[in-house]
Chain A
């Protein structure tokens, strides 16, 4: 099996689907000749031509609307938003229009669009680039939100997203792009959307995370093991819809939960997950479900980024609180 970084796995998935389906189109700002500012589309224009892999004018709302229109013409668009911090520019196209098309057309028109975008922080980008805005999309009925944490998952989930007939926002954590390699099969494979994965089994506490925080949670779990605490780590992989079955199964086993998100605390995914847990499993809980999150400020200017971002020590602290409750 090949060893790939997450960005290579993403390119591989795009290549796979460009080959499989002539309706797949890949486009965005600088994705053609330049191969994307992160090089996610490196070499694809040369391989598939300018009709299928192309640059757009600089306008995210235009990219969003164009995608809706191309989908109406039977294409399967895979646009890129260069950094997810720019998604506000495309918000009406995505949440306002794309997400509602199936409903507004009485179920007659789907939007098989996969919007890829780098998100998250920790790589010292300028202001307004890094951010964790997944909650904005997850709040919109009609959208799916997928967030891989490994190269293997990135390929399988991206292929599934592209083949899905509803719109998917596929978020790629910038810090994970090149930070490690993992095994990725050369052949095509899919991973079901809406399915979480238990990354590590444990009996004392459940850590629920996605994106880069999966790795911080795994690190925290290793440290906790030294103190005799066995943490189970769940990688959600799809945050909308969430895999409530996998979560509940774990909660019933460990009776203690900490939900970890890189996003700010207010009105985030963690709040939603905690609400689901307490509505369905309150009698299984031995302690309040706690959160690890960033503080409620705008994404930190880069000098304060390291302290601002949640890390494995913050997770350990919260776990100790629920274990010693």
Chain B
């Protein structure tokens, strides 16, 4: 028995292409990306790092609401996303705002989401996604449904969903991967294992050595990837996507990563549960540092280029905040109107009552 478990666990080795020094160690699996595409990936990671820094600052100034920091997870978030097509459907968790932005959600709407304004949750036409899920795991079963729907409709697209290491403890996680497996539905399940669920380390979450191996029980493909290596994350997702659209079923991808910041900006203090030593160890594996050094060696990236991205990000963020500020404040009557397609009579009454209150 014991040997069976060991055998399985040993098969889940961490997949890596780019090592911490930015050297290719897995030439055979190097994805087929043009120079421009490689630069675009870097552009997105730098931009997203700046967005994170600005969002934290804006939150501290009281200009943003709910915010879950993303620094450290750029390769996991943007590497998976870069392997998608526009018609793929994203079911993100609360930390996965960057993927939504690169899928087409305007920045000012992302800020409105943070402020708890419903317009932040209205995906523009053609942006195939739900707004971030707050209930841990709920998106996993829904992804199975989206994927099955795509399969039944004969679409060549996939559903992709995200959760964290903590999320893999939820029943919905198992149900989602199992349903998708049973229907051989075109889904990609990403677990961003950033080592902690708020304060609880992954070792206390499960006795399983890897989270990727949870795929085995569901009878689907599973892979553990170095989540700080954007090329490996991209390659794994690209392959999972291809299999999914070819009718070969879903994949579970575990990315090993780290969140540098607090869990959210609502009072979490990571020094209560993480050591500085651990922070430093992970920062050495930083996805931007690694990819930058790879691109620089190829002559594809320079400080000048990076500064251009930083300036662009800052300007766009400034404009987006301004636009968010200009939106009409959300009202209770907006909520009432959004409850049903046709308002029942008791809500008609309440609509009148609150319209009166709001006009005072």
Contact = CB atoms under 8 A, between A and B. Distances in A.
Given A57-B169, A58-B169, A303-B115, A33 B272 contact: yes
Contacts of B249: none
Interface stretch (A102-110, A124-132, A144-152): A124-132
Interface in B250-268: 266-268
A298 interface: yes
Contacts of A129: 134
Given A57-B169, A58-B197, A296-B346, A304 B336 contact: no
Contact of B199 (A33, A265, A295, A301): A33
B31 interface: no
Interface string B170-196: 110000000000000000000000000
B337 to A, nearest CB: 9
B254 to A, nearest CB: 16
B332 A301 contact: no
B69 to A, nearest CB: 14
A59 B272 contact: no
A129 B273 CA distance: 23
Interface size class of B (residues with CB under 8 A): 35 or more
B358 interface: yes
A266 interface: yes
Interface residues of A, number: 36
B94 A58 contact: no
B273 A303 contact: no
A265 B350 CA distance: 10
Interface stretch (B97-105, B200-208, B209-217, B238-246): B200-208
Given A124-B116, A295-B350, A307-B358, A59 B171 contact: yes
Given A61-B171, A303-B117, A34 B273 contact: yes
A302 interface: yes
Contacts of B136: 58
A55 B354 contact: no
Nearest to B163: A58
A320 to B, nearest CB: 16
Interface string A27-51: 0011011110100000000000000
Contacts of A32: 199-200
A304 B120 CA distance: 14
Contacts of A29: 197-198, 200
B3 interface: no
Nearest to B66: A126
A301 B339 CA distance: 13
A41 B136 CA distance: 22
B117 to A, nearest CB: 5
Contacts of A302: 65-66, 115-116
A301 B116 contact: yes
Give the interface centre of A125, A128, A307, A308 by most chain B CB atoms within 10 Å.
A307
Nearest to B169: A57
B335 A308 contact: yes
B166 interface: yes
Contacts of B206: 57
B347 A128 contact: no
A6 interface: no
Contact of A304 (B66, B169, B198, B331): B331
A124 B204 contact: no
Contacts of B66: 125-126, 302
A295 B65 contact: no
The 7 tightest CB contacts between A and B, nearest first, are A302-B116, A34-B199, A57-B169, A58-B166, A126-B66, A301-B116, A303-B330
25 contacts: A29-B197, A29-B198, A33-B272, A34-B200, A57-B206, A58-B166, A58-B200, A125-B66, A126-B116, A265-B350, A295-B332, A295-B336, A295-B350, A296-B350, A297-B336, A297-B339, A300-B335, A301-B116, A301-B117, A302-B66, A302-B115, A302-B116, A304-B331, A307-B354, A307-B357
